[in-house]
Amino acid sequence: MELTVNGHKHEVDVEDDMPLLWVLRDELKISGVKYGCGIAQCGACTVHIDGEAVRSCQVAAADVWGAVTTIEGLGTPDALHAVQAAWIEHQVAQCGYCQSGQIMQAASLLAENPAPSDADIDDAMSGNLCRCGTYSRIRAAVKTAAKNLQEA
């Protein structure tokens, strides 16, 4: 089957029911997407399919309906995405394991809602768990990214 990932077309020879997570990690060697729980409860495996944040552990390869973007493809070769830059500015990551999923979820939120309230942020990010508890820094980074995107 053919998948477009981070702007590049890939031919993969996998079972139709193989989770996208494993296609990305094992077949395409894209390691930014993380395995967390395998049941779509932690958000570590969040990627975008046609701009929509989805849990890649629960999407079968044959069910991918559009272009896939991982953390590696979020920015451009010359610049970080506003969310990535805000994550650095606010020093969000501690252990960092959940951060690619957090960033992908935040980017999807801001694409849909360019000026989210605290409640909007909390609601959108509630499915992404952070063992280190950096939720206040996550919210601050989302607000900064929203502001920077509006000014761009």
111-133: pLDDT as tens digits: 999 999 999 999 999 999 999 99
Quick check: 115 and 108 in contact, CB under 8 A?
Answer: no
Report the share of the chain in percent with pLDDT over 90.
99
Angstrom distance (rounded) from CA 70 to CA 152: 23
Distances (CA, A) of 29 to 33, 34, 72, 76, 141: 10, 12, 11, 19, 29
Pairing of strands 68-69, 8-11: unpaired
CATH 3.10.20.30, domain 2-73, yes or no: yes
Residues 6+ apart with CB under 8 A from 92: 99, 102, 134, 137, 138, 141
Quick check: 68 and 5 in contact, CB under 8 A?
Answer: yes
Q: Tell me what pLDDT residue 123 has.
A: 97
Kindly list the domain boundaries of the chain, sorted by start residue.
2-73, 82-151
Q: Which amino acid is at 122?
A: D
Q: Work out the average pLDDT over 3-13.
A: 98
Q: Tell me what pLDDT residue 152 has.
A: 83
Q: Tell me what pLDDT residue 114 has.
A: 98
Report the share of the chain in percent with pLDDT over 70.
100
82-151 topology per CATH:
DNA polymerase; domain 1 (1.10.150)
Q: State the DSSP H helix or E strand holding residue 18, giving kind and residue range, or none if neither.
A: none
Instruction: Name the H helices within 30-125.
Output: 82-89, 99-112, 118-125
